Structure 1
């Protein structure tokens, strides 16, 4: 393991010395795409802009954090149908330290966030000969179709270069029927643009002293040139960025302010709907990001059912998709029929101690798991002896067994 880390560090240092590493921070313009889609609300929605919507930030962060913190192990199929956990260099690199800068959790959290926003996430494979020794996150990548699949055009540090498919781990999101995942930001631009416009408008109104809009009154009829001039003036004060500004009027006009209650000013219904609408795009129940529907509490059996449903229908498909990609692109070709990566989905039960206790009890009393195996699941030391034996309840048994006292 020490030799592996030294080798990986040497490769990365060589790239840094040659100026080819292109490391960027997640807050940089290269890490999060600044180009976007113009929404019906007039706002340009990009990945970076979308993250200014609290609901988008919460949906992406919650999902990425759960996926990246679940234990991920490498297993080998045994001839008797069982499996054995492998703790080799590949397993340690993927789980603990994909590169010299990030931990495993940090790397996969960033990749999952990128995949949720844009539909695709990319990492460069750092190779030592034919051996995979690291993964470096790539940003500003454009996949280019070629007869054999894709090559990847990377723009970093003001220069552009191509990487072949075998040098890139390409993580796809939902809808990768043509080889590319679909972007929730692009397809959900109208929903996210509405949320951005509502937040901006509400903020502009408060910034200008809660001065609500009104109507213009004149004591006499206006000529066509006057109406045209007035229309030109009004257009200069139209738009969410200009909400609440005070207009200078000619003497023949009178401004009559319209009164709005605080809920209207803050557009609470619109903003509440935006939270739920954004959640649909990311498949995250609103309750997960701290938003309860009207009349719904944040606690109770109903919320527990929602959480379990999300873990089953929302998180599990993401895990299956990641496992399939790891098995295809990270495991050496000669080992793919025997080795495979798998997330420990039982770890998701840690958040529910009652469910965890019932699960371990059933596994113990049905003869599937010994007491020591159950104790390992909750980080307790093994006891050995009888605690390492399988047992099962016998509520029903043949009469001849009962008469002889056998169990």
Structure 2
């Protein structure tokens, strides 16, 4: 044991060996398999697209802070420090959407996302700073709580305690450190990576002509060179596409068709897209895979995405803020209703029902849409009543 480790153990600290399988995710550079890191996994277009879709969507969701009274009623608190960070930025270098996007992407790829809580001199929350998980070493203290040692890459190391960070975890095996879903389905990811590697090698090293010219007998070198130059000068390039080829001397043209092996490789790569989408709970149309798309499932993809993919992550974020940052009686809400803004008919039908049933009034609907309330009308002046109300008044 090194001298530093012995001193730390006397102070009640414990350093875990990164080679321990249950703590393997703590070591920088280790993703989910020995041969493919989380960073390398983003070379798979589906992994990158799913990660970006989830992270950017949650980063764009309006975040609101509420105070709940003893009777359970909620009041929005726009002056709360968390609400201020949502408006002006989580820290001087990153906006709120950027910070949340990095936080979520880290949790998706490594199973863990970490935000350092920054406070002013009076202890008030002043900022949130994203810490790359690959630059963090986790130690378990004698109390059972975790300590996070962050190396900034310039030789400086700072220790954060659990109360000083927001630790977003994917599902864990030990209740402390999250485990990436990529690691739980490592064979699936490896298969997709192998298919991509095979396709890249084929394109880089393979020779696949579009067709073959069969010649009876044996051609002399000068005849072969003359034929090659004739074909290149007459038929190669976009400008010569579709030109008729004239062959003489008994020569015949045969188009080169895709082999069953190559067709199987294409199907494997297509199936890998669906498999990786399953890992992240992302409907394929969200990442522009329309191979099995219909009008009906395309229209429902956004709703499915918000309900089964974004909502669980939003609830995790709300719970982590309630645990680490917000005092008792306050709560953070990520408003997923913003996803209905892409469907005006559904949105306004919902507003209409809310007004007719007395759930909302017109000014509350205007507020939801981001508009100011109607100005109070001068005495003696009345706005024209809606057509249906005007008709009812004469009955």
Correspondence for 1:137: 130
Match of 1:279 among 271, 277, 280: 277
Q: How far apart, in 1, do the equivalents of 2:181 and 2:348 lie?
A: 37
After superposition, the Cα gap between the structure-2 partners of 1:376 and 1:330, relative to the gap in structure 1 and judged at 3 Å, is same
Q: Kindly provide the CA deviation profile for residues 143-172 of structure 1, in whole angstroms up to 9, marking residues without a partner as x.
A: 222224211122332454432222222112
Q: Any conservation in 2 of the 1:119–1:184 contact (CA below 8 Å)?
A: yes
After superposition, the Cα gap between the structure-2 partners of 1:364 and 1:87, relative to the gap in structure 1 and judged at 3 Å, is same
How many Å apart are 1:354 and its aligned residue?
2.0
Residue 343 of structure 2 corresponds to residue 311 of structure 1: no
Correspondence for 1:125: 117
TM-score by length of 2: 0.70
Q: How far apart, in 2, do the equivalents of 1:181 and 1:38 lie?
A: 15
Residue 334 of structure 2 corresponds to residue 343 of structure 1: yes
After superposition, the Cα gap between the structure-2 partners of 1:149 and 1:264, relative to the gap in structure 1 and judged at 3 Å, is same
Match of 1:165 among 148, 162, 182: 162
Correspondence for 1:108: 100
Correspondence for 1:261: 258
The 5 A counterparts of 1:179-328 are 179-210=176-207, 261=258, 264-265=261-262, 267-294=265-292, 296-297=293-294, 300-328=295-323
Correspondence for 1:216: none
Q: How far apart, in 1, do the equivalents of 2:347 and 2:55 lie?
A: 23
More off after superposition, 44-53 vs 81-90: 81-90
- Equivalenced residue count is 307
How many Å apart are 1:301 and its aligned residue?
2.4
How many Å apart are 1:313 and its aligned residue?
1.7
Q: How far apart, in 2, do the equivalents of 1:286 and 1:37 lie?
A: 24
Give secondary structure in 1 for the equivalent of 2:89.
coil
Q: Any conservation in 1 of the 2:354–2:360 contact (CA below 8 Å)?
A: yes
Q: Any conservation in 2 of the 1:74–1:87 contact (CA below 8 Å)?
A: yes
Residue segments in structure 2 that go unaligned for 5+ positions in a row: 1-26, 210-255
Correspondence for 1:83: 74
Q: How far apart, in 2, do the equivalents of 1:260 and 1:36 lie?
A: 40
Q: How far apart, in 2, do the equivalents of 1:162 and 1:260 lie?
A: 61
- Structural RMSD (CA): 3.1
TM-score by length of 1: 0.68
Give secondary structure in 1 for the equivalent of 2:177.
coil
How many Å apart are 1:262 and its aligned residue?
5.8
The 5 A counterparts of 1:357-376 are 357-376=348-367
Give secondary structure in 2 for the equivalent of 1:291.
coil
Residue segments in structure 1 that go unaligned for 5+ positions in a row: 1-31, 213-258, 395-404
Q: Any conservation in 1 of the 2:28–2:136 contact (CA below 8 Å)?
A: no
Give secondary structure in 1 for the equivalent of 2:36.
strand
